[in-house]
Structure 1
């Protein structure tokens, strides 16, 4: 009888990506400040807060924005917290409630100096404080572009909630189109503009838009591949590329992972080819454009590194899984009722529950189970 644990092989998609891992030197001090500040909101139960802390959102910000100032890193860290907490609150709600939460967030974004109504969802105050700080030291073009991008993300979150209500599984093409927004790439790339006066003609130029969409696709592929195990365990896998590919193409998990890795390589080439087509806007603007493009490329690397360094998706086994590519399949668990009651969905799943020892699983020729 085969007693080997059920596993998924997770291909390394970023082997050939030219932009290296880098860490902002202000990481530790800013992390301490932002973590302490976030806890003051009391937005989570003690158990959920503990799981939230394991996400290490400050690490993601420090990896993604390695060269920004301490103040701008704090803004970036606070925004990553905003992204995660809004995602967690809306993920367990139906479309109507999710839309109401999104409306609160958008109102707070447009009215950062307005006192939030008593009894309102805490998301309003969290976003208000974040944006009130951000607008003090950032440029007006950044603020316009950020609001545009983040609003698109928020509206897409409502569409995702509607899909969830209807148990709707999209086609690959439709899913990727929606996921470019729900993966939040566009607003996190806009964060690179905090100290820039990047002209609208650059931000909305078709080649720049195409490059941003390439990074969004790289990020959604990596995120969906790495988070799939957790999501299949908690019953949230419909909004995940691996599930979509399995359903549409009739593949098993291994086949879907391999398909996603091949598509990732195609998108990388599309990004590189498009870089060669970026026009010139003059010497001064071109310097900003290069910084902006390097920033978005760095995000793809940072997202991949963080996914293995955080405990959000792979528990404490991220480094080992990065080395072997082998992920023990988590058993199905019923977290919906508890998560909804707590108004959040911060899962704290232990991969060690799925297997005791990965030391013998060194071969990539692992057949995934359906």
Structure 2
């Protein structure tokens, strides 16, 4: 290896997050994966060329659901696999679009989720409508409302991200983290955790400081882990502006390794905040009356599900070629990332 090739060391998030319960993988993974892979492959072949389709299959997005939703039944796990495949599908599409075109994509997704008679004839519309008809009936009224609202936020944020990319604009740390929680789609994934466990929390729970702290911290942890792991891939495609590493380097005027260390320290603080939220909710449940305690215990279960997402997301990231390619096992051991040349990777959707 050339001694001048830029490298950096990742924070050891697996060790850091080992304090969270280890849910393992979902026992229904193989059966649900077969169904989910068959379903998404049909749409991938209609929208993408053979190279892009093969790349998406090698990413093993279904496996991410097995790690992040270990508690769900087979039907629930299948629903999450379909949704995660949709998020990555739309992510790849909007990565190649202008802000205006990404806005059109967002409108198609949101209308297809909400309007049963909407059909613009596109593969994307049919994909989303299929998911809606297959899975959304399990959501309670509160969770369904949140899920649809969060979908609007997520897919609108894809358009915003595309606009920033067009302008080569890098946000402040605060503004970036706010946007990142939306572009990640993690809010919608958390909504699925809740509804597919048979929970339908009232909005009052989300307005409680004790719950909200854990909710926001766990989302940030998922987003920051993804940014750390995806930085090399993103910068190799020329998309590094929408990544916490770039944002921190610019805001703090520091180098690559210092930015990685900064984000690692931020993750430690966020993990403490998440665990503090869990303790506060448990204390409130012990002191509450019977009816209120039942709701609070459901909220505690939901926070635990978020913890599965935080830990499982990191474990999946090293089990797939999504971020590190064939070097994923070696990087898991060494935590050392060697940067690819900037703008050296280009994947056309129709190749």
TM-score by length of 1: 0.86
Q: Does the Cα contact within 8 Å between 2:111 and 2:118 map onto a contact in 1?
A: no
Give the structure 2 partner of residue 26 of structure 1.
28
Structure 1 residue 115 displacement after superposition? 5.4
Q: Does the Cα contact within 8 Å between 2:16 and 2:268 map onto a contact in 1?
A: no
1:219 aligns with one of 218, 222, 230:
222
What are the within-5 Å matches in structure 2 for residues 164-183 of structure 1? 164-183=165-184
The structure-2 alpha-carbon separation of the partners of 1:289 and 1:3, relative to structure 1 and needing over 3 Å to count, comes to: closer
2:69 aligns with one of 65, 87, 92:
65
The structure-2 alpha-carbon separation of the partners of 1:334 and 1:318, relative to structure 1 and needing over 3 Å to count, comes to: closer
State the secondary structure of the residue aligned to 2:8: strand
User: More helix per residue: 1 or 2?
Assistant: 2
Q: Deviations over 1:307-350 (max 9, x none)?
A: 111111011222221111112221234555x53xx369xxxxxx
Q: Mark the runs of 5 or more structure 2 residues left unpaired by the alignment.
A: 286-290
State the secondary structure of the residue aligned to 2:170: coil
Give the structure 2 partner of residue 97 of structure 1.
101
Q: Provide the rounded CA distance (Å) in 1 between the counterparts of 2:69 and 2:52.
A: 27
Structure 1 residue 107 displacement after superposition? 0.1
Give the structure 1 partner of residue 288 of structure 2.
none
Which sits farther off after the overlay, 169-178 or 15-24? 15-24
Structure 1 residue 5 displacement after superposition? 5.5
Which sits farther off after the overlay, 78-87 or 37-46? 37-46
1:272 aligns with 2:275: yes
What are the within-5 Å matches in structure 2 for residues 245-324 of structure 1? 245-278=248-281, 279-280=284-285, 282-324=292-334
Structure 1 residue 117 displacement after superposition? 2.4
State the secondary structure of the residue aligned to 1:51: helix
Q: Deviations over 1:209-235 (max 9, x none)?
A: 322210111111111111101111110
Q: Provide the rounded CA distance (Å) in 2 between the counterparts of 1:196 and 1:109.
A: 21
Structure 1 residue 6 displacement after superposition? 4.3
Q: Provide the rounded CA distance (Å) in 1 between the counterparts of 2:73 and 2:2.
A: 54
Structure 1 residue 4 displacement after superposition? 7.8
Q: Does the Cα contact within 8 Å between 1:186 and 1:212 map onto a contact in 2?
A: no
What are the within-5 Å matches in structure 2 for residues 36-51 of structure 1? 36-41=38-43, 42-51=46-55
Structure 1 residue 282 displacement after superposition? 2.0
Q: Deviations over 1:152-185 (max 9, x none)?
A: 1112212111111111111111111111211222
RMSD, aligned CA: 2.0
State the secondary structure of the residue aligned to 2:240: coil
What are the within-5 Å matches in structure 2 for residues 100-119 of structure 1? 100-111=104-115, 113-114=116-117, 116-118=119-121
Give the structure 2 partner of residue 11 of structure 1.
11
Give the structure 2 partner of residue 157 of structure 1.
158
Q: Does the Cα contact within 8 Å between 1:92 and 1:343 map onto a contact in 2?
A: no
State the secondary structure of the residue aligned to 2:337: strand
Structure 1 residue 301 displacement after superposition? 0.5
TM-score by length of 2: 0.91
Which sits farther off after the overlay, 20-29 or 47-56? 20-29
State the secondary structure of the residue aligned to 1:327: strand
Q: Mark the runs of 5 or more structure 1 residues left unpaired by the alignment.
A: 345-370
